[in-house]
Amino acid sequence: MSKAIDLSHIYNLRNNFTVIGLTGQIGSGCSEVAEQLSRGFNNKDFESLREVGGIDTKTSEIKHNSYRKYRIVYNYARENFKPYTRINYKDVLVIFLLKHSFDELISFLKSPDLKNEMEAEVPADDEGKDYAAIVPNAQFDDEAAALSEIKQTFEGLSEKYKSIQDNWNDLYNFYFQSEFLSFCEKIHAALMRTSRVKRNKLFQTISTNLRRSGSPYSFSEPTADNIFTIVELINDVIKSHRNSQNITKDERTQIVIDDLRSPIEIMYFKQRYAAFYTMAVNRDEGSGDAEGSKQYELYQKYKSPDSFAKAKLFFRQEYKGAKSHEFYKANISACIQQADIHISFLRKEEAVEKNKEIQEQNSPNKTVDSTSPYFSWKMQLLKYVSLISHPGLVSPSPEERCMQMAYTAKHNSGCISRHVGAAITDEFYSIKAIGWNNTPAGQVPCALRNA
């Protein structure tokens, strides 16, 4: 009998370098997913089969093949799911502020250009008939006073960053080892003193300016040369981490970016790294009065009904994106469309409740239950992180298999603006038809027409 061969070294390259870029609407759960990735595997964080009702209490047998797959994933992750290093998008924006003086930041907060941008009206409905301002009174006097308390730290970090001369180790020490990250918490808190919405809108403006002009404070005409300004710096931070790990002989570099809001920035990473994955976190709105729902939690963050109404305007603006020629602005819906992995943000209790509904809907005469059970977001995360590390660890679910067929079919579309694929199946997920959006038979597809 031949001796077994250890093939684990085949996956070392993928294990040693992985980048996950999170995307999703505000309140969808990106921060929770990023936090979990930064902790790695912990028995207390992830549910066992018995906890989610995967084992029949009478027969002690596993109820569904999906739970058998989860058992494989759980056992693999227990040994291989190591903590990811978290890079917050909004913290990287702070570095661009440090490239300028403290006085320039205060001048920007009081500038008429920023005031006009903050008070500009945006569509308040899908039809664009009604318009409203997200920040109707953009005064930053309180924020400027709060920032003055950390002026000395700002100037010290500014000098420290400016002294970095293309040295990966210096950049790594500045971002991960110095007081920079704790300073970021202070500056975010200072800018959020009067309104979380105003802080969010301010950083949206700063990121837009960076993609448009290369400067956080310039509202000049956009050029394509500056579109990658932010992600190029994130890429430098990733490289500094990888270089540092090589020096310390710890070869594993696993990064999670929280969170990307531009589809062009996602494209940047996809073109550079084979082991880059966009992970979209989606969450049902739920009832505004239901504790634990997205609406409820957002309402708690934004306090008063008036500020929550303004927050919803901001959410709509970031999700819908700007007009096609405003390529430098955030567009979360386009980011979600480009995602490689989708996670439905369900808590354990929500997943258990949905599984009960499936069981109640099933016909008593149905001998085989082909519908995959719902998994909590942590169970889903465990599965996808394990598959990233070890492709083929478990086979796709029936739903995933059909969705892959639909996803492949969409590339046949001749539409310029949107490609859509579809797969029609029976109750056992046997595919009966495949289709995609296109022009009527005999007509010229839009992609083949002359402008």
Through-space distance between the first and last CA atoms of the chain, rounded to whole angstroms: 67
- The secondary element (H helix, E strand) that includes residue 36 is helix 30-39
> What is the sign of the dihedral through the CA atoms of 175, 180, 181 and 187?
negative
In this predicted model, which residue has the larger pLDDT, 292 or 25?
A: 25
Lowest-confidence region among 125-134, 219-228, 327-336, 403-412 = 125-134
Give the span between the Cα atoms of 229 and 210, in whole angstroms: 6
Lowest-confidence region among 144-153, 280-289, 304-313, 416-425 = 280-289
pLDDT above 70 for 98: yes
Structure tokens at 275: 């082991």
Q: 393 to each of 18, 139, 333, 383, how far by Cα in Å? A: 17, 54, 30, 9
CA nearest to 188, candidates 99, 92, 315, 305: 92
Q: What average pLDDT does this structure show over 189-199?
A: 91
pLDDT above 90 for 367: no
pLDDT above 70 for 416: yes
Residue 87: the pLDDT is: 97
- How many residues does this entry show for the chain? 451
Residue 9: the pLDDT is: 67
pLDDT band at 307 (very low <50, low <70, confident <90, very high): confident
Q: What average pLDDT does this structure show over 425-433?
A: 92
CA nearest to 423, candidates 412, 437, 409, 411: 409
- Cβ atoms 375, 383 nearer than 8 A: yes
Strand pairing class (431-436; 421-425): antiparallel
Q: 274 to each of 17, 131, 303, 314, how far by Cα in Å? A: 10, 42, 42, 33
- Percent of the chain at pLDDT exceeding 90: 56
Structure tokens at 369: 């239950």
pLDDT tens readout for residues 226-262:
999 999 999 999 999 988 876 556 667 899 999 899 9
pLDDT above 80 for 323: no
pLDDT band at 43 (very low <50, low <70, confident <90, very high): confident
What is the full DSSP assignment across 362-384?
A: S-TT-----SPPP--HHHHHHHH
pLDDT band at 366 (very low <50, low <70, confident <90, very high): low
Q: How many CA atoms lie within 13 A of 266 on its CB side?
A: 27
Phi and psi at residue 368, to the nearest 5°: -125, 125
Give the span between the Cα atoms of 259 and 201, in whole angstroms: 16
Residue 130: the pLDDT is: 83
pLDDT band at 321 (very low <50, low <70, confident <90, very high): confident
pLDDT band at 19 (very low <50, low <70, confident <90, very high): very high
Tell me, what DSSP letter sits at residue 55? B
pLDDT above 80 for 198: yes
Residue 21: the pLDDT is: 97
pLDDT band at 75 (very low <50, low <70, confident <90, very high): very high
In this predicted model, which residue has the larger pLDDT, 2 or 384?
A: 384
SS3 content of the chain, % helix, strand, coil (to 5): 50, 10, 40
Structure tokens at 390: 């070890």
pLDDT above 90 for 388: yes
Q: Can you point out the beta strands (E) in 55-194? A: 85-88, 121-123, 131-133
Give the span between the Cα atoms of 121 and 56, in whole angstroms: 56
pLDDT band at 364 (very low <50, low <70, confident <90, very high): low
Residue 423: the pLDDT is: 96
Give the span between the Cα atoms of 312 and 307, in whole angstroms: 9
